[in-house]
Amino acid sequence: MENKKVLVKRIDANINDWLAEQKNATDYLQSSGRKDFNQNDILGIATSNFISNQIGECFREFSTDYSRIYFSPIVKNVVSKIEECTAELHFFYIDELERFDNSNVHPEYKINDKLEETPQIQPFIDSFMNSYAFKIDKKDKILEKNDLVLVKILDRQSNLSSNSEYIYNTDGDKDPLLKELDAALEGAKVGSHVEITIDNKEYGVDVLRVRQTQNMPINDENASLIGVPEIKNRDDARKFIVSTVVEQLFNKELHNYALSIYQEFEKQIDISKDEPKELIDSEIHRRIQDFISQFKFNNTQMSEKEIEEIKNEHYDQFKNQTLKAFKMNFIRSWLPRSLKITLKDGEIEKEYRALMSMTTENDRQNMNINPQKIAEVLIDRKVAKHYLQINNPELYEKYNYGKK
């Protein structure tokens, strides 16, 4: 039986918000260096952003409804003009969730119970202790290459300000704002003020703090400069890094454990009668189109007949991939909600700071860290801890230090 359970939400942009969305799209196109864009390009970006934001608002609204699991919507009946933007969001959902049992799962993955003996730990600790990158304040000295600069940026047009920290005059690609900042801040120091103009927009910039990176061995005299309250001497620093590294290794183990849990539920749970055909067909079509577009991207000339042959040849493959993804999406949404797992205020920010402290600048760019990904990691971690505490309470206590 096909699942036809769907919630339709009509969205209609407020005229002032819609005009602002178009201006933002125009600013984006100008800043990206495009000069040949037209009104259709502006409307396309503005419409996409408006719809995405509205979908996000809907899911925030759905987050308090524990009786249903909603899926990303099919967007229909889009009207996009200079003076208006409307659309319909068709959210398919699964309800009657009490029929799914979350109590019986024994994942195949076994968490390493001797993390502190991991061979890679000692070299990392030695490197950390013997060459820590201290951030030393520079109060009265002129900015130098690769200094860490905290600036307050005031948008003269909106009169809104924000603080931002970046590496001054570093090598590599930069966006226009940072390039302009580098040029304007030459010879500056803490307390300096400059005015800059980017894409005909004026900004006031104040230098709030400047720090220089110095790699030095950690000793009793400089340990407190690390900035961690519990670190007062070299021995504290060693204990801290050991516990931090073991905790990071444990978190990786929890990630694998969570994936194994989801895979077990994938075997146990049957939602074949809950699959919304329209949504599944839409996703299959999208995957096939993405696949075909790769040929077009490589300038491969294909006739309509060849395109149809490719669709027919790969249809079953994409259908199976879509059904598998749909089921896993349901499980990863339903399971945490069924366990009443949520994130508390500040958890995402705390995890972000931890990631920043344990990764290099290049690693951060490659990881593409964002709040949504961090939230998923934290939810998975809590799911893993829930079942680890049930299946292996001794190991849970050993590495979780009695905390949930």
Query: The domain 131-231 is classified under which CATH number: 3.40.50.970, 3.40.50.880, 3.90.1150.10, 3.10.50.30?
Result: 3.10.50.30
Res 362 pLDDT > 70:
no
Res 397 pLDDT > 70:
yes
Res 149 pLDDT > 90:
yes
Domain ranges of the chain: 1-95, 131-231
State what percent of residues in the chain have pLDDT above 90. Answer: 61
pLDDT tens for each residue of 80-109? 999 999 999 999 999 999 999 999 899 999
Contacts of 279-283 spanning 24+ positions with Cβ under 8 A: 279/71, 279/74, 279/92, 279/326, 280/319, 280/322, 280/323, 280/326, 282/74, 283/322, 283/325, 283/326
On the 0-12 / 13-18 / 19+ scale of CB atoms within 10 A, 32 is exposed
Res 368 pLDDT > 80:
no
What does the alpha-carbon distance between residue 269 and residue 329 come to, in Å, rounded to a whole number? 13
Per-residue model confidence (pLDDT) at position 2: 62
- Give me the mean pLDDT over the 128-157 stretch: 90
Res 361 pLDDT > 60:
no
pLDDT tens for each residue of 158-180? 889 999 898 898 777 777 778 88
pLDDT tier for residue 32 given thresholds of 50, 70 and 90? confident
Per-residue model confidence (pLDDT) at position 404: 44
Per-residue model confidence (pLDDT) at position 295: 73
pLDDT tier for residue 296 given thresholds of 50, 70 and 90? low
Class for the domain spanning 1-95: alpha beta
pLDDT tier for residue 274 given thresholds of 50, 70 and 90? very high
Res 254 pLDDT > 50:
yes
Classified as helix, coil or strand, 255 is helix
pLDDT tier for residue 359 given thresholds of 50, 70 and 90? low
Res 155 pLDDT > 70:
yes
- Give me the mean pLDDT over the 384-396 stretch: 95
CA angle centred on 228, ends 225 and 234, rounded to 5°: 65
